[in-house]
Structure 1
Amino acid sequence: MTCAAPAPGATAGAELAGRHIVLGLSGGIACYKAADLTRELVKAGATVQVVMTAAAEAFITPVTLQALSNRPVFTSQWDARPDNNMAHIGLSREADAVLIAPASADFMAKLVQGRADDLLSLLCLARPLERVPLLVAPAMNREMWSHPATQRNVAQLRADGATVLGPGAGDQACGEVGDGRMLEPAELRDALIAFFQPKLLAGRRVLITAGPTFEPIDPVRGITNHSSGKMGFAIARAAAEAGAEVTLVAGPVHLPTPAGVRRLNVQSAQQMFDAVLPLAPQHGLFVATAAVADWRPAALAGEKIKKTAEQRVPTLSLTENPDILAAVARLPAGQRPWCVGFAAESHDLLRHAREKRERKGVPLLVGNIGPATFGQDDNALLLVDAQGAVELPRAPKLTLARALVAEIARRLANAPTFPSPT
């Protein structure tokens, strides 16, 4: 057995370590969120240089952003602090990315037109396009967002290479409800982290199962397990960050859907089987992280089973559930995705993982000790293939998910064949 460390740069809580972000604020009530966004980016390890327009200063003070970023805030293209008096050049050359949050309708129009009448628009125009990406987080009233002029500008921004984050939908400061809210600070932080992740699965379609299944006994009871779904959801997030188109089939868990992931909710093993099998041929990679119940009651009681004087302990007859991973692995060539299985064991992990990999007929089996990981935020993984086993030592689940995605991508690149999605 050999050991491998998680992917470089994946330390929990420091996903933006070494990144220098120019955070630009244009005018809008969503400027209040920029304070929390600055904190989130700094906590994630980034250095943050805030640049504000005059309109932004009407909503939040530079003093607030300076205190949170620990750096002087720039507001004017005539700022004399840079040695050459060219703040728009120095600020843009130092950046790993420019993030405009909030990006008002007016400021996006400026970007599209190439106008540069303030420091923020000037540095956006002066940034080196090939190495300093531009991300914008729109924030405006729903009518302003849906206006054809705004939609034309958003389309042009994307065509010019900018990444548009959001907007979200919900209650607006004006009292209306709809599209146009700036994404929340944590969402923007995660979007920026995802932006910098290597796109190792770009162009791939990935199908993932996660969580437990619930097998009903009667209308109020059922058979399930302790799986929280956290590992599977972390893998779905990591795969989406890596550029894949991800479909997640989730058992009964209360976890937010990772950004950019299509989610299908199911309850029982049969429902998961019925959801997965038609989708599998449309995907090039299948990752079966779900802890699927092996058995279910042979008959579902129509009413709650009651204790009686004659029968205080009922007898349950069980029947076997369909084997989702094995069924996908047996699909015909051309329809069969590259399969990764998971095994949650209580003991003898390596032996059981090897046996399960051979039994299921999959190229890679990922094992873990279930009682040590169910419900936890960290985990340790054992990757088992025909050549042997590789250990990913205990780390946060998202860190492990990114390392696993990198390992899968490496194996896919070296695989003799890779089924094309249909």
Structure 2
Amino acid sequence: MKITVYLTGGIAIYKAIEVVRGLEKEGHQVRVVMTKNAEKLVTSNTLAALTKAPVLDDLWTKENEATIPHVHLAQWTELALVVPATADFIAKMSLGIADDAASTTILATGAQKLVVPAMNDQMWFNPAVQRNLTQLQKDGVRIMSPAVGMLAEGYAGKGRMPEPQEILAWVKTNFSSKLAGKKVLVTAGGTSEPIDPVRYIGNRSSGKMGIALAEAARDQGAEVTLIYGHITVQLPSGVKLVSVETSEEMEKAVLNAFPKMDALIMAAAVADWRSEKPSAEKIKKKSGQTKLDLALVKTNDILQKVSQLKKEGQIVIGFAAETQDLLTNAQKKLKAKGADYIVANDVSKGVFGSDEDQVIILSQKRKNTTWPRMTKTEIAQKLVSELLSDL
């Protein structure tokens, strides 16, 4: 494959050298384009030596006077990879600005574009950056979500560039993705069941796993709809977002969207019980009162309903969050719900809000598989790659 790698001026550029080497080791033909800011951190001589080809960094040199190098390279390219992608270069791509060799060449490129952002967390969460990322995804550009970890500023946050091996695996997955043109529905977060206008019944779900799954499916080319309840993390860009509060609202949204979907990943923590008669007014404490009795009624089982509606070709994946007898309870859930897969995890060990988890995959047709402890992002990528491979 003919891959053009764009290096921009982010401190994580030192990792990009390993990405270039990795692509070459995999047998790809690699060419490099660098911004002037990138060359303040790494010299073009280094990349030229690695690729055995000149680095394009200036359209106006003597060597380029009689040629149109950006158009020639754009036509040669089968895949364009921007790594690391700074906020500045992302903005240029989003707006179609062509004011240097890198931005001009990528604007002329019709090949699939993959972008690996890397920046400070405050820049990453800036609304302008998120708008630009959303626009790129609408334009068909695929974005690899940055990692959570130590930043150049000396503290941990989201914005760190993933490790080279993760990027190489992501590139391989995206270029040969089977999810292009597929529609995937993901649910995330917890539902909130009102007791009165002030209080509600909730749970400890952060929504991290569901959002990681939505991002993984999006990054592999799927058209993703994310139905989310109460969450404590940033919503992803490049997916259709549907906000709900109660289990009833979650049920209606899922049942409305599912018939048009190829797959459902039900990662939301839906309440099992709700107040039978929520009070229209705040329930006030009375003098001498020492307890409050609440009548709770069972909520509808969304996963079971959807599984009954499932047509041939559709895949349904549910989650089993347990605190005891994990395999026994998960096996019962798999049989009772009728889902294709159940992802079981023990939530008694600090899973809620954590960036890591350890899961067991139960299937109607395959043997149980225990996965090692990984980050939720890694679990999401592996789950989407393996369990949705039949779509």
Tell me if TM exceeds 0.5: yes
1:152-202 Cα shifts (integer Å, max 9, x gaps): x999846x3252869999679xxxxx9799999957957977544341322
Q: 1:280 to 1:202 in 2, by over 3 A?
A: same
Q: 1:302 to 1:352 in 2, by over 3 A?
A: same
Pair 1:389 & 2:368 matched: yes
1:395-417 Cα shifts (integer Å, max 9, x gaps): 1111111111122133x25xxxx
Q: Which residue identity does 2:214 align to in structure 1?
A: A
Contact residue 91 and residue 123 of structure 1 kept, 8 A: no
Residue 47 of structure 1, CA deviation: 5.4
Residue 363 of structure 1, CA deviation: 1.8
Give the distance between the partners of 1:215 and 1:405, measured in 2 at CA: 30
Give the distance between the partners of 1:303 and 1:324, measured in 2 at CA: 29
Indicate which of 141, 159, 163 corresponds to 2:113.
163
Give the distance between the partners of 2:186 and 2:326, measured in 1 at CA: 22
Give the distance between the partners of 1:122 and 1:269, measured in 2 at CA: 57
User: Which of structures 1 and 2 has the bigger CA Rg?
Assistant: 1
Q: 1:274 to 1:120 in 2, by over 3 A?
A: farther
Give the distance between the partners of 1:398 and 1:119, measured in 2 at CA: 48
Q: Which residue identity does 2:19 align to in structure 1?
A: A
Contact residue 21 and residue 46 of structure 1 kept, 8 A: no
1:352-397 Cα shifts (integer Å, max 9, x gaps): 0110011111121111011221111111111112343111111111
TM-score by length of 2: 0.69
Residue 328 of structure 1, CA deviation: 0.8
Greater Cα shift, 286-295 or 116-125: 116-125
Structure 2 unaligned residues grouped into runs of 5+: 22-30, 99-103, 118-123, 137-142, 147-158
Indicate which of 46, 58, 67 corresponds to 2:19.
46
Give the distance between the partners of 1:302 and 1:319, measured in 2 at CA: 18
Structure with larger RCO (C-alpha < 8 A, sep 6+) = 1
Secondary structure of 1:367's counterpart equals strand
Name the residue aligned to 2:322. 345
CA RMSD of aligned residues (A): 4.5
Contact residue 319 and residue 343 of structure 2 kept, 8 A: yes
Name the residue aligned to 1:65. 41
Residue 37 of structure 1, CA deviation: 5.2
Instruction: Trace 1:12-91 onto structure 2 (pairs within 5 A).
Output: 22-24=5-7, 34-36=9-11, 38=13, 41=16, 46=19, 52=34, 56=36, 60=37, 62=39, 64-66=40-42, 72-73=43-44, 90-91=53-54
Residue 125 of structure 1, CA deviation: 2.8
Aligned length: 332
Instruction: Trace 1:108-257 onto structure 2 (pairs within 5 A).
Output: 117=64, 122=69, 125-126=72-73, 129=76, 133=80, 137=89, 139=91, 157=108, 160-161=110-111, 163=113, 186=146, 194-198=170-174, 199-257=177-235
Q: 1:154 to 1:129 in 2, by over 3 A?
A: closer
What percent identity do the matched residue pairs reach? 30
Name the residue aligned to 1:401. 380
Residue 50 of structure 1, CA deviation: 7.7
Structure 1 unaligned residues grouped into runs of 5+: 1-19, 26-33, 67-71, 93-97, 101-106, 111-115, 148-152, 173-177, 414-422
Give the distance between the partners of 2:340 and 2:217, measured in 1 at CA: 19
Q: Which residue identity does 1:370 align to in structure 2?
A: V
Pair 1:300 & 2:300 matched: no
Indicate which of 279, 284, 288 corresponds to 2:262.
284
